Chains A and B, each alone.
Chain A
Amino acid sequence: EVQLVESGGGLVQPGGSLRLSCAASGFTLGSHRMNWVRQAPGKGLEWIVYIGFSDSRTYYAASVRGRFTASRDNVRSSLDLQMDSLTVDDTAVYYCARDQVGDYYTDYWGPGTLVTVAS
């Protein structure tokens, strides 16, 4: 069974940092492109990071570029999202999401982890 489980969310002050992780199981992580998507409370979905088969091909949405850094470890079957210089606008549920092998649409999502940026 395909499983993606995010962790590392919590409360952080504005200007602070947080590192999220995503543990993948039930499939070979190295065969899939991956993404991070977030959803602010009561709002819609916002795609923020695309990670190719390796860290070398990573693309960030303008809203997080320069502040967030994504990485993956295909051997450990995990992804990380380092979030720096956080603002209240970064408050959201963060989802780890898998692209279908051989294509670019997202077929599986983790349950998400909540990040709250507040003083």
Chain B
Amino acid sequence: IVMTQSPATLSVSPGERATLSCRASQSVRSKLAWYQQKPGQAPRLLIYGASTRATGVSVRFTGSGSGTEFTLTISNLQSEDFAVYYCQQYHEWRTFGQGTKVEV
């Protein structure tokens, strides 16, 4: 299963909303996770089951979608949110998208 994220880079100002997209080459049902990665750090789980926030994740992060189309919305962007975001399907083994960099 091929995962395609768009855009590759998203330029957003603090306080604004960012909308990240992830598309699967075939249905993954709701077996979709989102991860945040900052430079020099391991990825951090944000969302699983397409829309469930992981423990400790801010309510500013919202996941939606099912089947082949998914969205991660980050509202009221804070300085700590500027990072690279990856989607991953776990319906059939595992595949990551290529990532979306959210920058100022």
Contacts from A to B (Cβ < 8 Å)? 35, 44-47, 50, 59, 95, 100, 103-112
Contacts and interface: CB of A to CB of B under 8 A. Distances in A.
A45 B48 contact: no
A100 B52 CA distance: 13
A111 B96 contact: no
A95 B90 CA distance: 17
A45 B86 contact: yes
Nearest to B33: A105
Given A45-B86, A100-B48, 8 more contacts: A35-B94, A44-B99, A47-B96, A59-B93, A106-B94, A107-B45, A107-B48, A110-B42
B40 to A, nearest CB: 9
A85 to B, nearest CB: 22
Q: How large is the interface on B (under 10, 10 to 19, 20 to 34, 35 or more residues)?
A: 20 to 34
A6 B33 CA distance: 23
B19 interface: no
B95 interface: yes
Interface string B84-104: 001010100111111100000
Given A45-B86, A45-B99, A100-B48, A109 B42 contact: yes
Contact of A109 (B43, B93, B95): B43
B93 A95 contact: no
A47 B42 contact: no
Contacts of B48: 100, 103, 105, 107
B12 interface: no
Given A59-B93, A103-B48, A109-B43, A47 B88 contact: yes
B96 to A, nearest CB: 4
